[in-house]
Each structure stands twice: as C-alpha cells, then as structure tokens.
C-alpha cells in the first residue's frame, strides 16, 4: 500500500512537471510567433515608408562602394572618419554633379535640335537608293514612310517627355539627391560596422557566410568597375573624339556612347561607326579617320583594361548582365543599369552556395577558372 501510494505520488509529480513544461513551451512558441508577426508587419510598413526613396538609398550605397577605395586611401592621411568621408563626398560632387550642372543645358538644347531636325529628315530616299526593288511599289514605299515617321516622332517625343518630367520634378530630384549624399556619407564612414551588422543578421554558418561575402564583393566589384565604370570611360573616349572633330550634337552622341559602352556585347561601335560612315560619305575624310582612331581606342579600353580589372575577381556571364540591365531599367529606372545585374548576381551566388557542386558554374566564373 505504501509503495503504490509512492508510485502514484511520483506519477502525479511527473505529470505536473510535464504539464508545466508544455505550458512553458507553448508560451515560448506563442512569443516566437508573435515576435515574427510583429517583425513582419514592421518590415512591410518600413518598406512602404522607404519605397519612395529606395532608389536614392541604393544609389548612395553603390556610390559608397565605388568610392570606398578612395576613402580608404584618404583616411591614411586624414584619420578622422567624418572629415575623410566629407572630403570624398566633396570630390564625388565635383566629379559628378558639376559636369551635370554645366552640361544639362547643352544636352537640352541638342535634344531639341535633334527633335526638330528628325521631323524634317528624309529617311526614305536613302533606303530607296539601297533597296530599289523593295521600294518599287508605291504602296510599300508609302507604308514604310508612315511607319518610319511614326517611329521617329514617338521616339523623339518620348525623349522630350523624359526631359520635361525631369525639369518639372527638380524639387523632388533635389530631395532624392539629399538622401543619396546622406547615405553615401554614412556608408563610407561606417562601412565596417555595416558589414558586421549584416553578417550578424545572416542565418548561415560562418564558412558559408565567408563565401557569400567574398563572392558578393567580387561580383559587385566586377559589375561596378568592370562593366559600369569601364563602359563610361569607353563612351567618354568616343565623346572626346566627337568634340575634337566638331561633330554636331556631340554631347547627345556621347551619352548614347556611354550607354552603349555600359551594355555588354553591344559596345560603343554601334554609335561611332555610323558617324564615321556618314563623314566618309560627306567627304570629311580627315574627321572620319580621326574619329575612327578614338573609336578603336575605346574598343581597346574594353578589350584590355576590363580583363585586367576583372581578372582577379569573379565574373558573371555577359548575357546575364545584359538581361539584368534591361529588366532593371524597366523596373528601377535608369539606376536599374546597376541594380538589375546585381540583384540577379546575388541570386546566382546564393544558388551556387546551395548547389555546392564541383562542376563549373555556367553563369559565374571564379578567378581560378
């Protein structure tokens, strides 16, 4: 009787402790779920708060990454982080904003000239000379003329609308610019702390985390310097030729060359070669030869300088970069030229870490390959 009572008492105590543990476990689960829901709600609300300036925030962060080597160099002579960051921001403003300030009126003027001249230009007569059999039928000739005129009108009108919207939204642009400079400054100043904070949020083991950051840094470097900066240098090289040889609407053509230089596979040749052909046709042989030299030099920059910069970094397939740029422009606007390829690249990096295979990657080439 005494033994059975003890067993019964011990069983009651055991059940009591199980009941207490279950309650504590349920309480912890409820707390975890509540915390997750609260964090989710705050993340969504924060996204809607930041969404109007998200492009400005990303632009400032990208500028910080581009100018980080310069910041590290200046910091050797100026130990104070605030002063060093301010100096780099000042250099960036002088290097980027001042040229825009002086060149924008010229670009507007040239855009209006191109818009006006395109409305009066005869594109059909040269096509008739090149393809006489195609334009022998008057109905075909009339249809092609209408299609070309409609296309040119829409294209030029679209360009003018973009310029008009930019002028109307100058106050908004200035606010966005303030955000860009603010983020730029603090990314430079607190880069190490930001990296450590991001690492602390990642749910990966240390070895995977190390690979992820190494690959992300290499790909970001490859796209920003190997694709974007080199593309801008290519376009500027061709643009110098446009200005030296007095090509009309040189600034507008330079911007087209810069965009073509940034785009992989395409290159600046698509801009300067038609101009050279036009100069040969009009009899301006010396200008055509001179501009050809600048165009070839632009291609040399692409074929020699780009591999030197990217050779020690992971490189991404140019087709992926091109798709990322085009999709990025549609989704993010002009800054999508950079954001689009980076987003796809980071996805591919995570997939590669998940894949973890010895077979070579199709889309990302490591420095060893």
pLDDT tens-place string over residues 135-158: 666 676 677 667 766 766 676 666
pLDDT at 160 over 80: no
Q: Which residue has the higher pLDDT, 223 or 270?
A: 270
* Mean pLDDT within 286-301: 86
Q: Which residues of 312-345 are buried (b: 16+ CB within 10 A; e: fewer)?
A: ebbbbbeebbbebbebbbeebeeebbbbbbbbbb
Residue 5's pLDDT is what?
47
pLDDT for position 331: 81
In this predicted structure, the answer to whether residue 297 has a pLDDT above a threshold of 50 is yes
The answer to whether residue 364 scores a pLDDT higher than 70 is no
Look at residue 352 and tell me whether its pLDDT is greater than 70: yes
- The encoded tokens of residue 363 equal 């889309």
Alpha carbons 163 and 156: distance in angstroms, whole number = 11
Q: Quick one: average pLDDT of 250-269?
A: 82
Given this model, what pLDDT does residue 366 score?
Answer: 58
> 166-206, pLDDT tens digit by residue?
667 777 777 888 888 889 999 888 888 888 887 777 777 77
pLDDT digits (tens, 9 = 90+) for 64-101: 888 888 888 888 888 888 888 899 888 888 887 777 77
For 15-37, the pLDDT digits (tens) are 555 656 666 666 676 777 777 78
Nearest to 62 by CA among 83, 99, 92, 84: 92
Are 311 and 181 in contact, with CB atoms under 8 Å apart?
no
pLDDT at position 209 is: 74
pLDDT at 218: 76
Cα torsion at 195, 225, 341, 259 (round to 10°)? 140
Q: What is the mean pLDDT of the chain?
A: 76
Residue 53 token pair: 């300036």
Residue 104: CB atoms within 10 A of its CB come to: 14
3-state DSSP call for residue 132?
A: coil
- Categorize the per-residue pLDDT at 7 as very low, low, confident or very high, splitting at 50, 70 and 90: very low
Quote the pLDDT of residue 369. Answer: 46
pLDDT at 343 exceeding the cut of 60? yes
Q: List, in sequence order, the alpha helices (H) in 78-169.
A: 81-92, 98-120, 124-130, 138-168
For the question of whether the overall pTM of this predicted structure is more than 0.85, the answer is: no
């Amino acid at each position: 009787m005494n033994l059975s009572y003890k067993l019964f008492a011990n069983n009651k105590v055991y059940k009591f402790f199980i009941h207490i543990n279950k309650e504590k476990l349920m309480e912890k689960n409820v707390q975890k779920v509540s915390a997750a829901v609260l964090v989710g709600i705050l993340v969504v609300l924060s996204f809607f708060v930041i969404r109007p300036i998200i492009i400005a925030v990303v632009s400032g962060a990208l500028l910080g990454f581009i100018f980080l080597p310069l910041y590290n160099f200046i910091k050797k002579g100026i130990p104070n982080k605030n002063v060093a960051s301010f100096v780099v921001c000042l250099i960036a403003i002088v290097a980027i904003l001042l040229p825009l300030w002086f060149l924008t009126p010229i670009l507007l003027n040239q855009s209006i000239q191109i818009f006006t001249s395109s409305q009066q230009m005869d594109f059909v007569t040269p096509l008739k000379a090149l393809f006489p059999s195609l334009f022998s039928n008057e109905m075909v000739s009339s249809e092609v003329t209408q299609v070309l005129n409609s296309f040119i009108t829409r294209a030029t009108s679209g360009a003018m609308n973009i310029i008009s919207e930019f002028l109307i939204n100058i106050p908004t642009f200035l606010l966005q610019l303030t955000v860009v400079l603010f983020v730029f400054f603090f990314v430079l100043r607190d880069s190490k702390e930001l990296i450590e904070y991001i690492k602390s949020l990642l749910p990966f083991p240390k070895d995977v985390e190390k690979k992820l950051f190494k690959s992300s840094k290499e790909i970001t470097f490859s796209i920003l310097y190997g694709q974007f900066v080199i593309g801008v240098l290519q376009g500027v090289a061709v643009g110098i030729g446009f200005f030296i040889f007095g090509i009309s609407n040189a600034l507008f053509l330079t911007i087209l060359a810069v965009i073509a230089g940034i785009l992989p596979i395409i290159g600046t040749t698509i801009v300067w070669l038609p101009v050279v052909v036009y100069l040969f046709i009009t009899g301006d042989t010396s200008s055509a030869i001179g501009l050809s030299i600048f165009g070839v030099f632009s291609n040399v920059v692409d074929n020699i300088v780009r591999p030197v910069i990217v050779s020690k970094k992971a490189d991404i397939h140019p087709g992926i970069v091109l798709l990322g740029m085009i999709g990025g422009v549609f989704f993010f606007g002009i800054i999508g030229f950079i954001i689009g390829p980076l987003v796809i690249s980071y996805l591919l990096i995570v997939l590669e870490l998940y894949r973890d295979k010895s077979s070579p990657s199709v889309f990302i080439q490591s420095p060893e390959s």
